[in-house]
């Protein structure tokens, strides 16, 4: 394993950089899209609610690989060309945002109705109520599950390997198939994923205890 690191650490670090970049971009974008979708889902207008529900159900119920492949091989047929990293990141964002939407939605629903009513009686608009009153509380409630979604996102980013995304997993595949040292390579790659996700779990737990209301 050490031998692999010594020979290929530059490639591994380059792959790690792609994995981190794709994960961070997908994390930020899916948090935004997910929150918007969650707000649509809790809307009182039926058709708005429907848009949110369709989005979430659609992406939650198809495999990530198919979403990614769609951007990598289907859209280019119609002249819209994405490289592996871009199609991987877009797929990852759309897919993760469906799960984040669900998490945030249940957070919003857990905020007591009185809070919204109080906002309305102070003359705030729907968006103001959401922004100032409901969402901050909803995020606090949803934080543990959001943390899980982020960890999943980092692991799921290995999907980039399937579409020439040059990420950590892709680099690992190439090293394993050059050296035939499958066990050593994947153990090393697995450890690096662990080094990314473990601090993330601790960070989430830390934020959780800091913001705990009870």
Give the interface with another protein as residue ranges (CB under 8 A). Answer: 72-74, 76-77, 81, 83-84, 162-164, 170, 173-174, 176-178, 180, 182
Minimum CB separation from another protein for residue 154, in Å?
A: 21
Minimum CB separation from another protein for residue 89, in Å?
A: 16
Minimum CB separation from another protein for residue 79, in Å?
A: 9
Q: Considering the complex, state which of residue 78 and residue 214 has its C-beta at the smaller distance from another protein.
A: 78
Minimum CB separation from another protein for residue 173, in Å?
A: 5
* 3-class secondary structure, 123: coil
**In angstroms, how far is the first alpha carbon of the chain from the final one?**
46
Q: Considering the complex, state which of residue 145 and residue 164 has its C-beta at the smaller distance from another protein.
A: 164
Helices and strands (DSSP H and E) totals, the chain: 9, 0
Q: Considering the complex, state which of residue 8 and residue 170 has its C-beta at the smaller distance from another protein.
A: 170
In angstroms, rounded to a whole number, what is the distance separating the alpha carbons of residues 60 and 102? 9
User: Is residue 181 within 8 Å of 4, Cβ to Cβ?
Assistant: yes
SS3 content of the chain, % helix, strand, coil (to 5): 85, 0, 15
């Amino acid at each position: 394993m050490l031998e692999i690191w010594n020979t290929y650490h530059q490639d591994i670090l380059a792959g790690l950089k792609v994995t981190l970049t794709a994960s961070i971009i997908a994390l930020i974008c899916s948090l935004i899209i997910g929150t918007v979708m969650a707000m649509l889902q809790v809307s009182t207008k039926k058709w708005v609610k429907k848009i949110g529900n369709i989005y979430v159900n659609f992406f939650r119920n198809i495999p990530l690989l198919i979403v990614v492949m769609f951007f990598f091989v289907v859209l280019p047929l119609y002249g819209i060309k994405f490289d592996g990293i871009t199609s991987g990141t877009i797929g990852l964002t759309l897919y993760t945002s469906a799960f984040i939407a669900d998490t945030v939605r249940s957070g919003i629903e857990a905020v007591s109705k009185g809070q919204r009513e109080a906002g309305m009686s102070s003359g705030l608009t729907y968006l103001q109520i959401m922004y100032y009153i409901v969402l901050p509380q909803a995020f606090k409630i949803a934080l543990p599950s959001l943390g899980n979604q982020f960890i999943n996102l980092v692991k799921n980013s290995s999907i980039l390997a399937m579409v020439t995304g040059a990420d950590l997993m892709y680099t690992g595949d190439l090293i394993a198939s050059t050296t035939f040292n499958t066990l050593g390579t994947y153990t090393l790659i697995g450890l690096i994923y662990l080094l990314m996700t473990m601090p993330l779990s601790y960070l989430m737990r830390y934020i959780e205890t800091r913001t705990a209301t009870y």
